[in-house]
Structures are given as structure tokens and as C-alpha cells.
Chains A and B, each alone.
Chain A
Amino acid sequence: MDIRDVTAPAERITMQLCALYAQYGYRKFKLRKFEEYDFYAEYRSFLQTENILIFHDLSGKLMALKPDVTLSIVKNIRDDSPAPQRVYYNENVYRASGGVRAFKEMPQVGLEYIGAVDLYAMGEVLQMAARSLKLIAADYILDISHVGLASGLLGETGLPEHALSGLSACIRAKNVHGMLELCGSYGVEKALQQKLVRLCSLYGACGEVLPALPELDVNAATHAAIAELTAVCEVLRLAGCAGNVRLDFSMLNDLSYYNGVIFQGFLPGIPSAVLSGGRYDSLLERLHKRGGAIGFAVYIGLLERVEEAPAPYDVDTLLLYDETVPLSALLEAVNTLTEGGRSISVQSAQDGGLRPAQTLRITKEGGVCRAGLA
């Protein structure tokens, strides 16, 4: 029996993910469960939730159970080293649940790469994301986009903030008819409308979508985004991950939080993204830290529903004994039968609910035979 048999899928995946990140030089970053509320209030625009669970500590100070991990890591990380800081975490965050009006503890495992983010760094983090997903299911999908493409095109419309938020909502929903209606009502020129439609409709492997991107190149922002995406796709091709990578520009995440490549991971049978991340240099800037940053989180809570083939049995051996068996003989038999990590359940009577691979009985002479045999 290996560790796979005694852990729930989510716990096992958590351990495997932590081991993967450690293998690539990421150090564990352990956080306390709460921060002062003022910290989150100041950087509220960088939080991915409106709701914060607050309480008073013993001195009356207002505290908050952490709704986000990245903010705390960036606040506490050193930025005076010439080398990048690679960290991973296994933490719980506290956010309002989507379905009911209540807070929920949400386990997350993730990593952050903080420092000078070059093409290798972006490729490494995206590879880590792809490998994280592959650990769970071989037929994963990693969607990639670039904030510069959508923000560059939306910027060309010259529309006010409230109108842009409507257009962003249409892009997120791949709602072409709604976008055309909105663009029409604001008098956006036809050629730009078509580019926005193309932006939210394009979906596919890098090789299929990249050739279509020059038609969306309208300014310096889109130009830089296309160049960076092309380079990142090439890194992923060289790393052997390209088969599961798709480009999807309807993924906007939060345009104020992210500033470069953004990505989301999907697994068959799970209805929403299980992994989300991207480049977030602007958060470092706000916290007066030097360098850039890129990272992602895996939403472990969603993995409870990962379907696995049910184990054929609960335990390797069920060993039955009675009061005539000397204790020394019983202990010796248990030691022998658990060699090599095999599992055992020692009982004086049959357990109808247990599914053992084999059932043995120990005799009063200390011998072991199949149960039922003399």
C-alpha cells in the first residue's frame, strides 16, 4: 500500500504539488492565519473578494482572517536580493461562499516568483502551472491570455469607465451579440468592433491562434502583448506542454491586478477553473517593492471532486487471532506482514465492512494460515 491509498485525493495532490515546487527551488512560505484589517483596507482593489472576515484581537485591534495569500507574501518578502525570490505556500483563505451567504475556508496551494521576471521566469511559472494540472489529470487545459491585448483594444475605443466595464463583461462571457449592441450604442467604429469580436471569439491551440493575432495589433500595448505571448508559447512548446495549452482572450481576470500574461487551468469534470494566476508587477509597485512578479494558486477545495477509480480493497491483510494466541507470536506476525509498507488490520473477529486483499488467521502455535483453513 502506498501513500495514495490512505489520503483523500485533495490531500495527496497538495503533497505532490508542494514536492513539485520544492523540486524547482521554491521555498515554503508559511503565513499566520490573519493580518491587521487596515492592511487589506489599503489594498482592497487587489483583493479578489469584496468580503473580509474581521474580528477584534485581545487589544481591541481590528484583525482579518486572510482573504488572500499573495498580498501577505509580497508585503513580507525581501526585495534587496539580486536573485529572484521563489516561494510556495499551502494556506487557507477565508472568503464569502458563492452559493450561500456565509464565509468559507478555502485551501490553496500556489507559488510566487518575485524579482526580475524574464522570459525564462514566465516560462518556468507557466510550466509549473501545466505540471501542477498534469499531476491531477493528463487531459488538463491551460488557457493563456495577455492583459495587454484586451486593455490595448479597449483603450482604443476611448469610452468612459462604465462603458468599458460593460464591454469587459461581454468579453468575459464571449457575448458577441451583446458587445456589438453596446459598441453600436456608443458609436465605436466598425473596424474596432470587429477586432473586439475577434478578441472574444478566438480560442484554440497556440499554433492555430497566434497567426490571427497581427490583425488585433492596433497600438504599442497590443504589439508588446502579441510579442510576449508568441515568445511564451514557444517556451511552452519547447517544454513539451503545448498540446494542452489554449489561447483564450475572453479571460480578463482583474485588469487592475494583472499586467501581463494571465492564465487559468481546467480539469475534466470540474465546472470552473482550478488554477488561476498571472503577472502582477503593479501590486509590487503599490507595496513599494522592486522587480516584477508572477504566480498562481491551485484551488484545492475544488479537487475534492476529482474522480478516481475506487480502491479494490481497504487493507492488504486482515489478521484474525483469538485468546489462545501468544502475544509475542501475534506481534511477530504483525511485523512480518507489514514489511515493505503493507497495511494490516488485526482483529479478534471478522469485520463485515472491511475489504481486505487477504484474510489470515494466526494459530495458537504462532503459525499463519488463510482464514477458514485449520
Chain B
Amino acid sequence: MQDWLNIALPKGRLGEKAYGLLERLGCGCPQMLENNRKLIFENEATHVRCFWAKPSDVAIYVERGAADIGIVGKDILLEYEPDVYELMDLGIGKCSMMVAGLAGTQLTADKTLKVATKFPNIAARYFGGQSREIEVIKLNGSIEIAPLLKLSDVIVDIVETGATLRENNLEVLATIQPISARFIANKAGYKFHYAQIEALLQGLRAILEEKL
């Protein structure tokens, strides 16, 4: 009998978009998009089991094998560097990892730069690559407030349209890397579900090519 293929999806808009792609490939699970309190959704016919997870936890579920595959933002992969296969760039959820600060801020090297971010490893790597001394201030949300209240000189965060920055007199000072959703797989799960995962990837490639 075919084993269950466990899929971790990030809660929120990105997850719903990604689920839409899976559904088109016949890998949807009934009740997944309904407003209910179920945590895990199963499709008996295809032996697919889906669940929603906090976006930053998707990579952990996949790395630890609780999910065979998952959809996750590149930001999460860059920050946590999980030991997983990154099999496809889905091209959805596009945004950028940016350095931002109050309009007119100069990234001068004359003092230790205070950087507020949800992504301390990305920030440390980026500024480390420029031999810049920084002090990382780890925040968990509303990062844009930090420079406004002088908690930090700059922020490192993902920026989609830049509207929040503009409305708060902030501006992009540097782009670190473009971000989009990635299809990831557990390294052991990939081997034991090879045919199923490759079929999914082929289907996804076909959908993405259709869009181009």
C-alpha cells in the first residue's frame, strides 16, 4: 500500500496560494480551506495528508521528517539553514530581504550599527560579509517601529510593496536578496516517496510554465 505523503503548508496567504497549486494537481485535502478547528487533513484517495504550520516552523517539520515535503519562504531557509532539499522555486510570494531605515540614513562605517530584525542570522551574514560591526536586536514583529523609536539604526526585514516603509518615512537602503516560496523535501522522505514527489514537481513545473 502507498505510504501517506505528509505536506506542511505555511498559514496565511502564501500557504493558501501554494495549496491552490497542490489542489490543481489532485493533491488537495477536503475541508482544508474551510473555517474549522481541524489540525490535519487527509485525502484517502491520494494518500496525501496536509497541515498548516507557522511559516517559520514549516522547515522544522520537514527537516525532522514530520512532513515529507513543505512550502516555505526562502527567508526561512536563509535564516535557519535546515538540512533539506530545496527542489523548486515556486515563484509565488515574491518579495525581497532588505535593509531599511529612516529616509536619508547613511550606512556609514564609523560606529557599530544597531540592526533590528526577525532574521538575526541573515543580518549577521550580510553585514559580516561587509566586515561591518553590528549589534543585532532580535524582534518578533512590527520591526518598522524600531528605527522610528531609535531602538535601532536600521532594520533587516522582508519588503513586499514598500507601502509600510513609505507611510512611516522609512526607505530601502540596500537589497540583500529576492525572496519567494520554495518547495522543500525531507532528505529521507524524498527517497521513500521519490515517485510521488517527482510527479508533483513535474505537475508544478507544468503549471508554472503555463503562467509564463
Contact = CB atoms under 8 A, between A and B. Distances in A.
Interface in B157-212: 186-189, 191-192, 194
Given A173-B84, A270-B188, A273-B188, A203 B194 contact: yes
Contacts of B188: 266-267, 270-273
B64 A271 contact: yes
Nearest to A272: B188
B79 interface: no
B86 A266 contact: no
A271 to B, nearest CB: 3
B85 interface: yes
A297 interface: no
Interface residues of A, number: 21
A98 B112 CA distance: 31
A273 B65 contact: no
A246 interface: yes
A174 B192 contact: no
A143 B189 CA distance: 13
A281 to B, nearest CB: 27
A184 to B, nearest CB: 14
A149 interface: no
A316 B194 CA distance: 43
B87 interface: yes
A307 B154 CA distance: 50
Contact of A272 (B83, B85, B87): B83
Interface in A263-287: 266-273
A178 interface: yes
A273 B83 CA distance: 11
Interface residues of B, number: 18
A55 B89 CA distance: 47
Contact of B186 (A175, A203, A267, A271): A271
A205 to B, nearest CB: 10
Contacts of B83: 272
B63 interface: yes
A173 B62 CA distance: 13
Contacts of A266: 187-188, 191-192
A268 B88 contact: no
A250 B84 CA distance: 12
A268 B192 contact: yes
Interface in B75-106: 83-89
A169 to B, nearest CB: 9
A141 interface: yes
Interface string A227-270: 00000000000000000001010100000000000000011111
Contacts of B186: 271
A32 interface: no
B159 to A, nearest CB: 20
Contact of A177 (B63, B64, B85, B88): B88
Interface of A: 141, 143, 173-178, 203-204, 246, 248, 250, 266-273
Closest 4 pairs (CB-CB, A-B): A271-B65, A175-B86, A177-B89, A174-B85
26 contacts: A141-B191, A141-B192, A143-B191, A173-B84, A173-B85, A173-B86, A174-B85, A174-B87, A175-B87, A176-B87, A177-B88, A203-B194, A248-B191, A266-B187, A266-B191, A268-B3, A269-B65, A270-B65, A270-B188, A271-B186, A271-B188, A271-B189, A272-B65, A272-B187, A273-B187, A273-B188
Given A175-B86, A271-B64, A271-B187, 9 more contacts: A141-B191, A175-B87, A178-B86, A203-B194, A246-B191, A266-B187, A268-B3, A271-B65, A273-B188
